[in-house]
Amino acid sequence: MKIKNKKSLKFKIKIFLSVILFGVLVFIGIQAYMIAVSSKYIMELEDVPITDAVLILGASVYASGNPSPILKDRLEYGYSIYSAGKAKKIIVSGDHGTIEYDEVNTMRNYLLEKGVPIEDIFMDHAGFDTYDSAYRAKEIFGAKSIIISTQEYHMYRAVYAARKLGIEAYGVASPNKTIYNMPYNNFRECFARVKTMYDVHIAKRLPKYLGDKIPLSGDGRLTEG
């Protein structure tokens, strides 16, 4: 009886370890695949083609209303893309889920101070994650081609999601910096890539909010709120 129990326990352990190993291999494979697929669309500013819009992805805003270092760098690179004539419009996409917390108006105000015409800035108030931002860029604003402005560690996932959603997407990445707490961001990003793969290929989920279409051919002031 004891021998049977030992054999049964060993078998269960082997199954458990096999499942763990399979999961680790899948996890690593997703990272490698997403980076490989997206890398060829991440370019230097001078090499990227002209597109409908630059999509600046949101990040934390301080209680003072100032953008965090990550968001500030995304805004600076997004502005550079627009100023170079590589994008006709700018979409600022972030979290404006409450009155108290507002990424998109902070982003727009920053760009207005840089001299961007108000009508060229379209605010996406429901860009709660990268997938939602890409989905809404296509479905709400009618973007067929975009250049994404974010950091390198985040760019692979952003470009991958946008392209799988049917947008001709490119990336001009701002460099990763130690001030961003990169160990945490890299760790989090690995799991976020797995979630994006699930969202795109399995769940095929809709964003939390959609809404009326506001084409980029119009006036960005229609997105005020």
Going along the chain from its start, the domains and CATH numbers come out as 41-223 (3.40.50.620)
pTM of the complete model: 0.93
Residue 35's pLDDT is what? 97
Task: Please name the amino acid found at residue 135.
Answer: Y
H helix intervals, the chain: 2-39, 69-83, 103-113, 130-139, 152-164, 182-198
- Kindly report, residue by residue over 79-92, the tens digit of the pLDDT: 999 999 999 999 99
Q: Report d(CA 34, CA 191) in Å as an integer.
A: 12
Rounded to 5°, angle at Cα 82 from 80 and 87: 140
Q: Could you give the CA distance from residue 73 to residue 17 in angstroms, rounded to a whole number?
A: 43
Please write the tens of the pLDDT for every residue from 37-61.
999 999 999 999 999 999 999 999 9
- pLDDT digit string, tens, across residues 135-148: 999 999 999 999 99
3-state SS class at 163: helix
Report d(CA 190, CA 126) in Å as an integer: 23
